[in-house]
Structure 1
């Protein structure tokens, strides 16, 4: 694996797994998919955005995929990658919205587990309180929040027309935008000559927001402003109408 090789070559540094589980390493995931890399990338994007599994390398996966296409390490066309990522991101949020709408409060009343924490829901409502319906767009760039924002919109019965509009914009800016950024930087001579080291940096940068958000959630445990149904209802009234 490119990133693993580069990191292992640095003095005093262990394998890339030391940064976290293998599923947080975008390069490891893409390498493990082999000839099914395109399908694997699309599935990961859909799972993270649509099936309530927040701890996946969304940003770094998109950036890395774009860079590897530019390097011709991945042999499928950029337009196909962007199209399928957009569809996966869009359909993922649509699925999460329907889960929230169909299951309602049951989704948010489940007990804490390894990947689900009530603090994540409080954090999501903080974003809705701050950005309103635009949170569906903003959340695309925030680990954890991008997983639960569409579910919260479904639970709170956000107008479907508004949700779809925000979803299309978010899927384009995040899914296509980050992928194109990786592709554009991947054609720069300096990047081409140092792609392995730069992928390590991408992994580090993408993991840091996850660590930060988890630390904030643990530090606050539950946010008393948003952990009661009536308080969430007030946020929904302002953000979802």
Structure 2
């Protein structure tokens, strides 16, 4: 993995731009994000732009476009084959009723999950497919997808651009921030769930 990352900093400009597009596009469409988070490609693209090897606007546009395309593909895959994939891969670990609840929640009010989930690797990889499985209306999904990709892509490229040779430290901080953000989301969801159960019992 380290060799691959170092190699990305030495490839021709056109290939670097292509990588910045392709890697985020593959992140949620084929679940590559669990192995190679798309944020690394955008950070490295920002580093290249900072070194003058490519226009920062071009790098940012490529990363944002890749993120949008990847999540759109993930949505389609989830809508058509998602339940079959999950049942075969993780069905033994996740109860069917829990998947049903997740699909229903994303269908009813999942726009925020698509937007917020962009900033954590696990959610970034899984949420588009779950949104498709839950039959979230595509216009709502697309709006959140585009908005999240623009904000996330711009931040990642800018961090790489400013970090320069210190990009590894920046990537470490971004990863820690993503983990903390995920934990925060889980805590909020647990608190809301407990509050609803108490309210229901009192009624």
TM-score above 0.5:
yes
* Cα deviation code 1:1-59 (max 9, x no counterpart): xxxxxxxxxxxxxxxxxxxx438x7x425236x12222122111111132222221322
CA, structure 1 residues 50+104, in 2 after alignment: closer, same or farther (shift >3 Å)?
Answer: closer
Whether 1:45 and 2:45 are equivalent positions in the alignment is: no
| Aligned 8 A contact 1:140 1:146 in 2 | yes
Equivalent in the alignment of 1:225: none
Runs of 4+ in 1 over 6 A off after TM superposition: 209-213
What is the TM-score with the length of structure 2 in the denominator?
A: 0.70
* Paired position in structure 2 for 1:178: 156
RMSD: 3.4
Q: Which protein is richer in helix relative to its size?
A: 2
Q: CA shift at 1:61, angstroms? A: 2.8
- Provide Cα deviations, 1:55-114, integer angstroms capped at 9, x if missing partner: 213223322321331122xx22122111221111111110000001111411221225xx
How far apart, CA to CA, are the structure 2 residues paired with 1:211 and 1:169? 21
**Contact persistence 1:104–1:155 (CA under 8 A):** yes
Tell me, what secondary structure is at the counterpart of 1:157?
A: coil
Offset of residue 208 of structure 1: 4.4
Deviation at 1:209, TM superposition (A): 6.4
Aligned position for 1:78: 56
In 1: Cα distance, 2:151 partner to 2:180 partner: 23
1:207 shift after superposition? 4.6
Alpha-carbon spacing, 1:176–1:204, altered in 2? closer, same or farther (3 Å): closer
When residues 53 and 60 of structure 1 are mapped into structure 2, their CA distance, relative to the original with a 3 A threshold, is closer
What aligned pairs does 1:106-117 form with structure 2 within 5 A after superposition?
106-112=84-90
- Which of 33, 50, 69 is residue 49 of structure 2 equivalent to? 69
* Structure 1: gaps (5+ residues): 1-20, 187-194, 217-241
Tell me how far apart the structure 2 counterparts of residues 108 and 46 of structure 1 sit (CA, whole Å): 21
Report the equivalent of 1:205. Answer: 173
**CA positional deviation for 1:180:** 2.7
> What aligned pairs does 1:9-158 form with structure 2 within 5 A after superposition?
21-22=1-2, 27-28=5-6, 30-31=8-9, 34-35=11-12, 36-55=15-34, 56-72=36-52, 75-112=53-90, 125=102, 132-158=110-136
